[in-house]
Amino acid sequence: MVHMSRRVTSTRLSDNRELIYFDDPETPSRPPGALVDHRDLPPRGEPGEVRFDALSGEWVAIAAHRQSRTHLPPADQCPICPTTAANPSEIPAPDYDVVVFENRFPSLGPVAGDIPPAPSTGGHGLKGPALGRCEVVAFTPQHTGSFAELGETRARTVIEAWAQRTEALSALPGIKQVFPFENRGADIGVTLHHPHGQIYAYPYVTPRAANLGAVARRYYDDVGAKETLAASLLRAEREDGSRMVLEGKHFSAYVPFAARWPLEVHLVPHRHVADLAGLRGEEKEELAHVYLDLLKRLDALYPTPMPYISAWHQAPLDPVLRPSGQLHLQLTSPRRAADKLKYLAGSEAAMGAFINDTTPEAVADRLRSVAVAPASAKTMEDSPA
């Protein structure tokens, strides 16, 4: 597989976790000696549990061992900054561009494999090891900043990492869904300030993906497999126009007709593609541009940066849901005013019944009209802010 001159180097940390460097095209190669983890980490723990909730028919991961994980460390002890003599971090290199590594405190893993099949009825007491894999994606060696501040070259390298990891994780035994995401801002529960995202590879189809996947499958069957539900909604939104945020050659973004969150944008490829690994080079190039544009629009709405969840919905690996699934991004924020957050309370948290205090059309209008500076073609390090 060719990675458009982006070098990919896989190595192992001292506890045998995999760590992978994804380099920008112009980055010179690093001597292998600079990539050795000199820490003496304890062996990795056993997986937690997945337990089957017979009441809802959903799996729940029980990861009590994660309580001891790092929580908002000071900048000089950041585990995602490049290693220095004073801070032997998770990334044993003096510098890097983009890095992906296995989470030291994973909710799922460290090994992947099959969990017991979910029964169609009953199943009380069913459990298994929390198999799967959780990875961390460091977007930049710089401790401060955000994805929105990356240059297009660096954003494109992150997209290459997402695509490569999606392909690799999808091939692991027992994996049913690969989910790249970013939680941004302490309001979302971020435990590390350093700009980073995560990728979860689940041993089951998650409840929301199962729900969306079943609806998408019914539509796909209804129209004789002529188009996906995501494609039909994108077509309708582009014809209507009132909720469109941006339109590109390969990707377009809109606020959904029945948005659940005060701020919610869906970014959808024009072509039927299952996941990030299926994108072509020119699509990934444009994605770097439009994704940065979207994030800058979010940040421009209020005087302070927008807390958000950036969630890449990819077609599950389940053979029934796979053909009708389509890659798309759901970008959501609980922020409903400069100083107000929406909390998931009774109706949403207990019943899953969302009540949105904003109108999707007004939110789309704000996102369209907000002034945004174009992303630099350079990386963030080349153009200090």
Q: Which residues are catalytic?
A: 196
- Cis ω for the linkage preceding 117 (within 30 of 0): no
**Maximum Cα interatomic distance, the chain, rounded to a whole number of Å:** 61
Comparing CB distances to Zn ion, the nearer of 182 and 237 is 182
Q: Which is nearer to Zn ion, 87 or 358 (CB)?
A: 87
* Nearest distance from C-beta of residue 379 to Zn ion, angstroms: 16
**Least Å from the CB of residue 143 to Zn ion:** 3
Three-class SS state of 366: helix
Query: Measured between alpha carbons, how far is 149 from 153 in angstroms, rounded to an integer?
Result: 12
For residue 288, what are its two tokens?
Answer: 């770097």
CA dist., res. 275 & res. 269, Å (int): 10
Q: Where are the beta strands (DSSP E) in the chain?
A: 8-12, 18-22, 49-53, 58-62, 98-102, 127-129, 133-138, 177-184, 196-202, 244-247, 251-254, 263-269, 308-313, 328-333, 335-337, 340-341
Closest CA to 89 of 200, 199, 201, 196: 196
Q: How far is the CB of 194 from Zn ion (least distance, A)?
A: 3
Residue 138 CB, nearest distance to Zn ion (Å)? 8
Pick between residue 143 and residue 378 the one whose CB is nearest to Zn ion.
Answer: 143
Residues near Zn ion (CB under 5 A)? 78, 80-81, 143, 194
Please give the Cα distance from 230 to 53 (Å, whole number): 30
Can you read off the two tokens belonging to residue 31? Answer: 């001597």
**What is the Cα–Cα distance from 304 to 81, expressed in whole angstroms?**
24
Q: Please tell me whether 134 is known to bind a ligand.
A: no
Q: Please check if 194 is assigned to a binding site.
A: yes
Nearer to Zn ion, 99 or 259 (CB): 99
Cβ 17 vs Cβ 101: under 8 Å: yes
Kindly state the smallest distance separating residue 66's Cβ from Zn ion, in Å: 20
Nearer to Zn ion, 86 or 350 (CB): 86
Annotated binding site for Zn(2+): 78, 81, 143, 194
